[in-house]
Amino acid sequence: MSTSGNAQTVLVLNSGSSSLKFGVFRRGDEDEDLLLEGSAEGIGRENGSLKILSADGKVLLSQEHLMESQQEALQKLASALAEHLNETLSAVGHRVVHGGPHLREHQLLTPEVLQQLEAAVHFAPLHIPQAVALIKQAQAIFPKCPHFACFDNAFHRTMPEVAAHLPLPTRYFEQGVIHYGFHGISYESIVHRLGDALPERAIFAHLGSGSSVAAVHGGKSIDTSMGLTPTGGVIMGTRTGDLDPGVLLYLMRIESMDADALEKMLNHECGLAALSNGESDMQTLLKRAESSDASAELAISAFSTSVRKFIGAYVALMGGVDLLVFTGGIGQHSDAIRKRICDGLQFIGLDVTSGKIKVMPTEEERQIARHCRLLLASQ
């Protein structure tokens, strides 16, 4: 595949811890038109799979095999695209979770930007090395078109200092230890789609294996639940959410846990999984709760309560709320969780049957394509 000045076709790569989602878009009359989409799932596991779908949902490719790494998955994806895509690429867009303090805007991936990204590894040691490796692999596979980085925390750079400045000695703020926030590309897609229908005071709740809540005032983020990293905020599938720092001191002293051990536990062994004795999937937990499973009920209640508390806080922050949007896998598909979250918020008009509540799918890949299109035009 090579760049064509007229094709204007964008490949979007959205990598997760064990998955690689992708979409191929062409500029339509009003928005980005989807040509192909799919994902490589279960990377590093025996049940790994690769699936490519046409825009109308037709399965073009479905393979079951083990993929050891994101790079192997990308190589297999590239081979499949060469067979099924009769388009040349104009750009490749990458979702990057964290770019550190100096990379807060969507931009062209130059060698200098990659160096800055690598230098920021200590801000997200679980995410940045994987992102850099995937970007370099993609640049090698698709060398004839520009590559762009879209940062998941860019949307939240509008937060005022009162929200961004953590209550730590100032020297750490100057080093970039600040409140960043994440899920920004998802939130940007909602802002884009609502357009003029977006009211002054909105709250967005992206709920999935990773979850966050954001206060959006006048179309801009003024606060959000995730903090320096995607570990903070509401309780998540395997992440703690907000936690008294004294707990970490206790674990360091009593369990002799170092930073790596704490990081592994806080991100992979906590949240819903810890409360339910091992289960992080919300649908499975709901089924267990129907059978009077106390630990599943505890996990569901703790999750719903933590989301409700952030919604209440942001209502207070903005002096009211005109719209609450649920998105993400849980937010979009679980009526039961939405009802639990809103139970008790009826006094501010947030009832599940209220016109103040919308359920919208997240469109991260299409939003990245939109950004790439704008960046291409500015080249």
Residue 111 covered by a domain:
yes
Over range 260-281, report the average pLDDT.
96
Close Cβ partners of 195 (under 8 Å, ≥ 6 residues apart) = none
Average pLDDT over residues 195-214: 97
Q: Which of the listed residues 115, 130, 151 is the one where a domain comes to its end?
A: 151
Binding region: 14, 21, 95, 206-210, 364
Mean pLDDT confidence for 27-49: 88
Given pLDDT bands bounded at 50, 70 and 90, which one contains residue 157? very high
Residues 210 and 129 in one domain: no
Same domain, residue pair 230 and 313:
yes
Predicted local distance difference test score (pLDDT) of residue 2: 38
- Identify whether 232 is part of a domain: yes
Per-residue confidence (pLDDT) for residue 19, from 0 to 100: 83
59 and 138: one domain? yes
Whether 41 and 146 share a structural domain:
yes
Task: Report the pLDDT value the prediction gives residue 335, as an integer from 0 to 100.
Answer: 97
Q: For the residues 72-91, what does the mean pLDDT come to? A: 88
Over residues 238-252, mean pLDDT:
97
Specify if 240 maps to a domain: yes
Would you say residue 13 lies in a domain? yes
Binding residues for substrate: 95
pLDDT higher than 90, residue 245: yes
The span from the CA of 229 to the CA of 252, in Å, is: 20
Domain total for the chain?
Answer: 2
**C-alpha–C-alpha distance, residues 205 and 225, integer Å:** 10
Any domain includes 159: no
**Looking at 121-135, 332-346, 363-377, which range is the least confident one?**
121-135
- Amino acid 4: pLDDT: 39
The reply to whether 79 falls in a domain is yes
Q: Which of 120, 136, 151 is the last residue of a domain?
A: 151
Q: Percent of the chain at pLDDT above 90?
A: 81
> Do residues 22 and 145 both lie within one domain?
yes
Q: Across-strand partners of 9?
A: 26
Q: What is the mean pLDDT of residues 254-261?
A: 97
What mean pLDDT is predicted for residues 60-89? 85
In a shared domain, residues 229 and 347: yes
Give the span between the Cα atoms of 51 and 67, in whole angstroms: 13
Q: What is the 3-state secondary structure (H, E, C) of the chain?
A: CCCCCCCCEEEEEEECCCCEEEEEEEECCCCEEEEEEEEEECCCCCCCEEEEEECCCCEEEEEECCCCCHHHHHHHHHHHHHHHCCCCCCEEEEEECCCCCCCCCCEECCHHHHHHHHHCHHHCCCCHHHHHHHHHHHHHHCCCCCEEEEECCHHHHHCCHHHHCCCCCHHHHHCCCCCCCCCHHHHHHHHHHHHHHCCCEEEEEECCCCCEEEEEECCEEEEECCCCCCCCCCCCCCCCCCCCHHHHHHHHHHCCCCHHHHHHHHHHCCHHHHHCCCCCCHHHHHHHHHCCCHHHHHHHHHHHHHHHHHHHHHHHHHCCCCEEEEEHHHHHHCHHHHHHHHCCCHHHCCCCCCCCEEECCCCHHHHHHHHHHHHHHCC
Answer with the one of 151, 183, 206 that is the final residue of a domain: 151
Which amino acids are annotated as binding site for Mg(2+), given as ranges?
14, 364
Q: Is residue 186 part of a domain?
A: no
Asked whether residue 203 falls in the same domain as residue 345, the answer is yes
117 and 203 both lie in a single domain? no
Q: In terms of domains, do 27 and 118 share one?
A: yes
List the catalytic residues.
152
Q: How many CB atoms lie within 10 A of CB 44?
A: 14
Asked whether the predicted pLDDT for residue 375 surpasses 90, the reply is: yes
Q: Which percentage of the chain shows pLDDT scores above 70?
A: 98
18 has a pLDDT exceeding 80 = no
Q: Tell me: the pLDDT tens digits for 91-120? A: 999 999 999 999 999 999 999 999 999 999
The yes-or-no verdict on residue 17 having pLDDT over 80 is no
Q: Say if 326 falls within a structural domain.
A: yes
Ranges 18-22, 166-170, 246-250, 361-365: which has the least confidence: 18-22
Quote the pLDDT of residue 87.
83
Distance (Å, whole) CA 183 – CA 212 = 7
Across all residues in the chain, what is the average pLDDT? Answer: 94
- pLDDT of 5: 41
Check whether residue 315 and residue 214 sit in a common domain. yes
Instruction: Give the pLDDT score at 42.
Output: 83
Residues 128 and 63 in one domain: yes
Indicate if 134 and 252 belong to the same structural domain: no
Q: Which of 136, 133, 161 is nearest to 70 (CA)?
A: 133
Domain that holds residue 201: 197-359
The CATH number of the domain where 122 resides is what?
3.30.420.40
